[in-house]
């Protein structure tokens, strides 16, 4: 796969006294892929998108589209189309002419531009809406018109800045479905900003995680969850289980026990924090597993998460969270056994923040015997 867009060492500050809003960001977008720039509010996501669009001038670094450095290319000649949180449709034009706008400006004959626009309205499931005034559209419909208008411009990169965040949850998932269909039919290269990791995971192939202007990790969606490169990434991806310990010969030693690590980790011997997704821990009855592949624990708390429950357990003095489906009743005080698949174990450097409730004090915990 070739890269459509390469962002190379991009930095940006708005004033010399404050911290940079973008700090040496490197990112490459494969042709036809959808990359979600994910990060908390204020982490620099929109600034990154605006720099790609040519609406902010970077202090350092390059933005290269199909091999061409865009430094001297004006926004309207970059081949980018942007859709933001608000659809920003032209109020004096009807739906069809909003979508036909880019083609008409390029000098395409009005009739041909309208025929083309009607095709894009079909693609966003607004067939027959062409003659309506844009003021007569609902929020979700207006956003679909904005997407059709952007796609009709045949952008090299489609830039989406929190495009669905103003919509309610049901409409938002309908838009995710629509985006998936558009990707199947047109395969545009998409760079999409969102602060919602569920949305990023639902629509993108890859996530680029930003924090304070730094790109922490850029990886396939599944790897962002299962192989975070740091504790910060693990936490920003919503992970809650952190176990301090020591690695020797591919085994993590902690109060939880001696846990084999996946062969792909390649972790050097020394201190390391084992991180485990709460969705990956399964809770079994307290019957002895003859293979010894599970860990004893006591349930300390149960919280309902809609169709699932978040179960907090104490395992050898370590607090762990497991997201479990509904099944047999569980109560605080129940003795259970935990299974943690080897593939769900990941290592990150550093020491967890001692103030966090998910962290146990391994120094005082008793080492258990037997490898799990
Ligand atoms: P995000 O989209 O991740 O919420 P932004 O890229 O909009 O973040 O902003 C990142 C930081 O840069 C924020 O602290 C914001 O206040 C600041 N910022 C953005 N645009 C400007 C500007 N034009 N002038 C000064 N500061 C700005
Ligand atoms: Mg923003």
pLDDT in tens, 136-180: 999 999 999 999 999 999 999 999 999 999 999 999 999 999 999
For ligand 1, is residue 43 a contact (CB within 6 Å)? yes
pLDDT of residue 241: 98
Q: pLDDT-derived band of residue 1, with 50, 70 and 90 as boundaries? A: low
Q: Which of 102-106, 241-245, 318-322, 332-336 has the lowest mean pLDDT?
A: 102-106
Q: Note whether 3-223 and 227-348 share their fold.
A: no
Helix, strand and coil content of the chain, in percent to the nearest 5, comes to 25, 35, 40
Q: How far is the CA of 213 from the centre of ligand 2 (A)?
A: 12
122: Cβ contacts below 8 Å, ≥ 6 apart = none
Q: How far is the CA of 37 from the centre of ligand 1 (A)?
A: 15
Query: Does position 274 have pLDDT exceeding 70, yes or no?
Result: yes
Q: Among residues of the chain, what percentage have pLDDT more than 70?
A: 92
Q: How far is the CA of 56 from the centre of ligand 1 (A)?
A: 11
Q: pLDDT-derived band of residue 212, with 50, 70 and 90 as boundaries? A: very high
Q: pLDDT-derived band of residue 351, with 50, 70 and 90 as boundaries? A: low
Q: How far is the CA of 202 from the centre of ligand 1 (A)?
A: 26
Q: Using CA atoms, how far apart are residues 13 and 18, in angstroms rounded to an integer?
A: 7
For ligand 1, is residue 25 a contact (CB within 6 Å)? no
pLDDT of residue 354: 54
Query: Does position 363 have pLDDT exceeding 50, yes or no?
Result: no
Q: How far is the CA of 117 from the centre of ligand 2 (A)?
A: 29
Q: Using CA atoms, how far apart are residues 138 and 108, in angstroms rounded to an integer?
A: 29
CATH of 3-223 given 3.40.50.300, 2.102.10.10, 3.40.50.1970, 3.40.50.1370: 3.40.50.300
For ligand 1, is residue 14 a contact (CB within 6 Å)? yes
pLDDT of residue 371: 57
pLDDT average, residue stretch 286-305: 81
For ligand 1, is residue 213 a contact (CB within 6 Å)? no
pTM of the full structure: 0.90
* 304 vs 289, more confident: 304
Q: pLDDT-derived band of residue 90, with 50, 70 and 90 as boundaries? A: very high
Q: Using CA atoms, how far apart are residues 145 and 246, in angstroms rounded to an integer?
A: 55
Q: What ranges do the domains of the chain cover?
A: 3-223, 227-348
For ligand 1, is residue 21 a contact (CB within 6 Å)? yes
Q: How far is the CA of 21 from the centre of ligand 1 (A)?
A: 7
For ligand 1, is residue 23 a contact (CB within 6 Å)? no
Q: Which helix H or strand E contains 329, and what residues bound it?
A: none
Query: Does position 368 have pLDDT exceeding 60, yes or no?
Result: no
Tell me, which fold does domain 227-348 have in CATH?
Answer: OB fold (Dihydrolipoamide Acetyltransferase, E2P) (2.40.50)
- ∠ CA 71-20-57, nearest 5°, is 20
Q: Using CA atoms, how far apart are residues 292 and 309, in angstroms rounded to an integer?
A: 26
pLDDT average, residue stretch 193-213: 97
Choosing from 11, 12, 46, 49 the residue with most ligand 1 atoms within 8 A of its CB, the one to mutate for a pocket test is: 46
Tokens at residue 336, please? 């259970």
Q: Using CA atoms, how far apart are residues 175 and 87, in angstroms rounded to an integer?
A: 14
Q: pLDDT-derived band of residue 268, with 50, 70 and 90 as boundaries? A: confident
Choosing from 44, 165, 191 the residue with most ligand 1 atoms within 8 A of its CB, the one to mutate for a pocket test is: 44
pLDDT average, residue stretch 235-262: 95
Q: Among residues of the chain, what percentage have pLDDT more than 90?
A: 83
Query: Does position 323 have pLDDT exceeding 50, yes or no?
Result: yes
For ligand 1, is residue 74 a contact (CB within 6 Å)? no
């Amino acid at each position: 796969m070739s890269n459509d867009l390469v962002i190379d060492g991009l930095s940006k500050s708005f004033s010399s006294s404050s911290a940079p809003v973008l700090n040496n960001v490197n990112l490459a977008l494969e042709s036809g892929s959808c990359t979600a720039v994910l990060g908390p509010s204020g982490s620099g996501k929109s600034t990154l998108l605006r720099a790609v669009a040519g609406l902010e001038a970077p202090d350092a670094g390059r933005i290269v589209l199909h091999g061409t450095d865009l430094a001297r290319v004006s926004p309207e000649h970059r081949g980018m189309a942007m859709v933001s949180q608000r659809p920003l449709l032209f109020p004096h034009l009807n739906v069809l002419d909003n979508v036909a706008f880019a083609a008409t400006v390029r000098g395409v004959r009005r009739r041909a531009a309208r025929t083309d626009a009607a095709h894009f309205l079909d693609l966003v499931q607004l067939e027959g809406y062409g003659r309506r005034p844009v003021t007569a559209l609902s929020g979700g419909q207006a956003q679909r018109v904005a997407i059709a208008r952007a796609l009709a411009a045949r952008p090299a990169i489609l830039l989406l800045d929190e495009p669905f965040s103003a919509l309610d949850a049901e409409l938002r998932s309908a838009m995710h479905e629509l985006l998936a269909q558009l990707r199947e039919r047109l395969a545009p290269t998409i760079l999409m900003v969102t602060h919602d990791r569920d949305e990023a995971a639902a629509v993108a192939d890859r996530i680029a995680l930003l924090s304070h202007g730094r790109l922490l990790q850029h990886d396939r969606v599944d790897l962002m969850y299962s192989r975070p490169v740091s504790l910060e990434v693990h936490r920003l991806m919503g992970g809650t289980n952190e176990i301090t310990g020591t690695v020797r010969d591919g085994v993590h030693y902690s109060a939880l026990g001696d846990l084999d690590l996946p062969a792909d980790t390649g972790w050097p011997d020394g201190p390391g924090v084992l991180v485990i997704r709460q969705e990956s821990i399964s809770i079994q009855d307290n019957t002895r597993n003859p293979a010894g592949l599970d860990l004893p624990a006591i349930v300390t708390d149960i919280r309902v998460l809609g169709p699932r429950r978040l179960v907090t357990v104490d395992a050898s003095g370590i607090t762990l969270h497991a997201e479990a489906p509904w099944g047999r009743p569980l109560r605080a005080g129940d003795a259970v056994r935990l299974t943690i698949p080897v593939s769900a174990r990941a290592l990150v450097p550093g020491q967890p923040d001692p103030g966090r409730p998910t962290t146990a004090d391994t120094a005082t915990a008793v080492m258990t015997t037997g490898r799990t």
